[in-house]
Amino acid sequence: MPQRRLGLVAFVSCTFLAVSTAIRIMLAAATPKGAGLKLSLLLKAAAAGVYFDLATLAYAIVPLALYLILVPRRVATHRWHIWLVRFFFALFVGVLIFDICAEFIFFDEFGTRFNFIAIDYLVYTQEVVGNIRESYPLSAIFSGIGAVAAAVCWVLRKPLARGAELTFNGPYHRTGFLLLLPVVLSYGVVNISQSAISRNNYANEIAGNGVYNLFAAFINNELPFTRFYRTLPQNQVNARLRTLVAERNNSFVDPKSERFTRAIRAEGPEKHLNLVVVVEESLSAEYLGTFDNKKGLTPNLDRLASQSLLFTNLYANGTRTVRGLEALTLSVPPLPGTSIVKRPNNGGFRSWGEIMNAKGYQSKYIYAGHGYFDNMNAFFSANGYSIVDRTDFAKDEITFANVWGVCDEDLFRKVIKEGDKSFAARKPFFSMVMTTSNHRPFTYPAGRIDIPPKKGRNGGVKYADYAIGRLIAEASSKPWFKDTIFVIVADHCAGSAGKTDIPIKKYEIPLLVYSPAHIKPARVEKMMSQIDVAPTVLGLMNMSYQSDFLGRDVFKESGQAPRAFISTYQKLGYLTENELLVLGPRQYAAQYKVNRKTGDAKSEPVTDAMLTDMLAYYQGADYLYQHRLNRIR
């Protein structure tokens, strides 16, 4: 076979591999200082990267190979065919340049290659495209991409013309079909987990290929726990989990049942106080002055912290809003794959809202954006909440909005109005409130703070703090204020990138419980999980109720050591005072000795005791979910 017979295939392959290498170099340069990327590790990542680039290329050339097999010779030599080839090659180059831009932006935001987050964003094109349009100069970017693609095509116009005439018909059919074999090998041999070449997560991301990762995330939206992760006999898991969730003054409704429903008995008179849970978008603990941030971004939250029950060692379940909402609403550890919020058949749980409804409350989910995003409306409406989202805001109730939703000030004014309605109806209310202002493009009403809009995360945090201050100030004039508890908590941190599998410092979030007439200010240093928020707040209200929560009230001594659950899309973490155990697909397990103050982690052997406790929670939660044992309908 003459080497030049490969023609267009060679052009496409060389261009793709060159761009993939350029992206890899760019991402390596974009990693933060202290990422631990030594030269030897970078070379290892580069070698693994070529492996994934070739695997991706195997899929990419299939349409081209099939076309060159089928196109008649007389068509291939026609003038219009040559121009058509040039056009599509220019389009191909443009797509690759766009991929460079997209991967850089995504890596800068999330510290990873494309993953399930990118898949989620492809579903909600209005919000995502709007966010990109408001954050970046798209006209200039696309004009630049078009100009570069056209220039490349012009330089290569003559070689492309010669390549356009070379097909795989006639005696060259075998050559064409041979080009289809690599995709078979790629499908059977290559696995996304093979990019985990080291303990350094940045190196693992550099080793991958963004396009390959994107399609792998699309295919593996849910990961069956018992198929991909380490497991123990289910009866052993259930027995251990019963021990781990046991608390003072709690008892199992049916000790012989597989259900974990418990009767929670109060230790004092019930307090039927109103409850407003403000879930702040991306509010990492590190941004608050009360957590030693020196930039003065959160004067209102810092003041409230001194007047609140402040929890200083709370860990978020994951890195997405839906993970935080899942943890707060259902009090369950994160299951691998997509959040329960986004899964089908996600209703009927004994949620926080259902528990409050049983006490006569009006439970509402109040969201600044459109509730169809991330399946929020479907989830909350199926689990005991009434929905108030952007569609319920009158025109005169919106003073400022971006693609994600109305500004936090407008949202909080709506929260107050909804509280007024419930108060007028003589009903206690429970409002779960989700903000959006602390999110790229970081736009908000001008003149509120000393950082102009669109100047980055610090401005988003400071405006969110300003709006919280306004919420408390305006609510304090209401007759229902003195009998209301305000809970302020984050959904997740502002970023999750780190050099370890699950960087623990990227999961630290604040929790404030504020009610001057009912909650004494104090600092709670005990480590806790986001799934512990609901049972702890219900405990502060002295509520007696039936629960399927796997979280616990941190004020009820259970005899168990503190623990937290932290996760990515595939990696699951179980954190104790000084150890972290991480599980992943293909029975992956790694344990670390950790310093929670610095985030440093040192590898150590996996211990049976920690693995047993971790599987009790994660495998147990998966079993309850799969068998619908934590649902009331």
pLDDT, tens digit, for every residue of 582-596?
999 888 999 999 999
Q: What residue spans in the chain does CATH classification 3.40.720.10 cover? A: 275-553
Check residue 62 and give its pLDDT: 84
pLDDT of 153 reads 86
Of the CA atoms within 13 Å of residue 264, those in its CB half-sphere come to 28
Strand order in the sheet with 545-547: 250-252, 262-264, 545-547
Report angle CA 262, 268, 271 to the nearest 5 degrees: 90
3-class SS at 466?
A: helix
With bands split at pLDDT 50, 70 and 90, how would you rate the model's confidence at 127?
low
The band of 170, judged by pLDDT with boundaries at 50, 70 and 90, is: low
pLDDT > 60? residue 42: yes
Query: Among residues of the chain, what percentage have pLDDT more than 90?
Result: 64
Catalytic: 576? no
Q: Is the pLDDT of residue 157 over 90?
A: no
Determine the Cα angle at 287 with ends 283 and 290, to 5°. 110
CB 550 within 8 A of CB 326: no
Q: Between these two residues, 405 and 196, which has the higher pLDDT value?
A: 405
Count CB atoms within 10 A of the CB of residue 167: 22
Please report the pLDDT score of residue 5 as a whole number: 46
pLDDT over 70 at 126, yes or no:
no
Closest CA to 370 of 347, 397, 401: 401
Q: Which residues are annotated as a binding site for substrate?
A: 439
With beta carbons less than 8 A apart as the criterion, state whether 629 and 260 touch: yes
Condensed to tens digits (0 to 9), the pLDDT of residues 5-34 reads 457 788 888 889 999 999 999 999 988 887
> Which pLDDT value is given to residue 109?
76
CATH level 3 topology of 275-553: Alkaline Phosphatase, subunit A (3.40.720)
CB contact at 8 A, 342 and 371: no
Do the Cβ atoms of 355 and 547 come closer than 8 Å?
yes
- Chain-centroid distance of CA 39 in Å reads 31
| Angle (deg, nearest 10), helices 39-60 and 7-30 | 140
Q: What is the pTM of this model?
A: 0.80
Mean pLDDT along residues 344-370? 96
Chain CA centroid to CA 538, Å: 27
Residue 294, by phi and psi: left (phi above 0), alpha (psi -120 to 50) or beta?
Answer: alpha
Q: What is the arithmetic mean of pLDDT over 393-399?
A: 96
Phi, psi of 380 (to 5 degrees): -70, -40
Burial bucket for residue 473 (CB in 10 Å: 0-12, 13-18, 19+): exposed
- Confidence band of 173 (pLDDT split at 50, 70, 90): low
Q: Which of 56, 298, 319, 321 is catalytic?
A: 321
Binding-site residues from annotation for Mn(2+)? 281, 321, 491-492
Please give the pLDDT value at position 274.
Answer: 99
Quick one: three-class SS letters along 530-571?
A: HHHHHHHHHHHCCCCEEECCCCCCCCCCCCCCCCEEEECCCC
In this predicted structure, the answer to whether residue 108 has a pLDDT above a threshold of 50 is: yes
Does residue 245 surpass a pLDDT of 80? yes
Cα–Cα dist 406/33, whole Å: 36
Statement: residue 3 has pLDDT above 60 = no
Look over the chain and give the mean of its residue pLDDT values, rounded to a whole number. Answer: 90
Residue 586 φ/ψ region, left for φ over 0, alpha for ψ in the -120 to 50 degree band, beta for the rest: left
Provide mean pLDDT across the span 564-585.
Answer: 94
Band of residue 167 on the pLDDT scale cut at 50, 70, 90 = low
- Asked if the model's pLDDT at residue 307 lies above 70, the reply is yes
Look at residue 222 and tell me whether its pLDDT is greater than 70. no
Confidence of residue 416 (pLDDT cuts 50, 70, 90): very high
